[in-house]
Amino acid sequence: MSKSLDPAAGEYGVAVEAICVGCRQVRTKRYPKAVPEAVSLGQSFKHVCHRCQKATYWNVRDVLEEESR
């Protein structure tokens, strides 16, 4: 599975691996918070899912390293 960032994930926030509660697909998204310390596993956040074709909730499965620091 590719860990490359979803182009639709957005430019801001913490890169996370997340699972859609609607269709159960796992994608890399950006959690809309600035600091990785604020994101913990199992947290849910609202984000657009293209398979569901609407905004759904995503549960954080993994917090990814930021490439630039």
Q: Where on the chain is the footprint of Zn ion (CB under 5 A)?
A: 20, 22-23, 49, 51-52
- What is the C-alpha separation between 30 and 47, in angstroms, rounded? 9
Q: How far is the CB of 53 from Zn ion (least distance, A)?
A: 8
CA-derived radius of gyration, the chain: 11
Choice between 54 and 69, CB closer to Zn ion: 54
Q: Using the minimum distance from each CB to Zn ion, give the nearer residue, 37 or 42.
A: 42
Spell out the SS3 assignment of 3-39: CCCCHHHCCCCEEEEEEECCCCCEEEEEECCCCHHHC
Give the residue with the Cβ less far from Zn ion, 8 or 38. Answer: 8
Q: Closest separation between CB of residue 24 and Zn ion, Å?
A: 7
For the bound state, the minimum distance from the C-beta of residue 29 to Zn ion, rounded and expressed in Å, comes to 11
